[in-house]
Structures are given as structure tokens and as C-alpha cells.
Amino acid sequence: MEPSEAARFEVRDGLPVLTLAVDVPVELVGGPWGLMNRLTLVVVDGPGDAGFLLPRLTPSGDVAPPGWDEAVDKAGGSHVPFASGTVFARTVD
């Protein structure tokens, strides 16, 4: 799966939204989620063994839109919608 198919990075009304082409069990939606936003990759770390490693840089460039990093910094993380609910993944270092 190409990075652009695995995840969609967006800034909606100034808020970062990272839509993943996966779903998680409903019981994990309420757990703590973390986000490591780096220039070359993003890690969305969920409760237990749940987590996703996403490349940001592709041969065609950065898949994150302009303003993504600033929006993540301002919000302190990113909204991550799943079919079973949306989580807020807080920035971790």
C-alpha cells in the first residue's frame, strides 16, 4: 500500500486530522493515544500493542500538507478518525 493510500494528512479549519486506512477495535478507541510527528515519519501509538508507523516522505515529497507541523504543535497532537470512533493522539517526544 502506498503511503498516500495508507494515511491522509489534512489540516481542517486549522486542526490536524490524520485519517488511517485501518480500523481499531472499539475498546481501544477510549484508550490513551500518542503521536510522534517527525519530518520523515509519523508514529500513532495506541493502547497495548496498537500502533501505526507512517512514512511522511515519499519520492514525490512530503505527504503532509503545508501547515501540518504548525497545526500539530498548536493542537498538541492530532485527531485520528477510525470507523469505530475518533481519538485524539497527544504529541509525545
Q: What predicted TM-score, i.e. pTM, was given to this entire model?
A: 0.89
The 8 Å CB, 24+ separation contacts for 86-92 are 86/29, 87/29, 87/31, 87/33, 87/46, 88/33, 89/18, 89/33, 89/34, 89/35, 89/44, 89/45, 90/32, 90/33, 90/34, 90/35, 91/34, 91/35, 91/36, 91/37, 92/34, 92/35, 92/36, 92/45
Task: Summarize pLDDT for 56-91 with one digit per residue, the tens.
Answer: 998 989 999 999 999 999 999 999 998 888 999 999
Task: Summarize pLDDT for 12-39 with one digit per residue, the tens.
Answer: 999 999 999 888 888 888 889 999 999 9
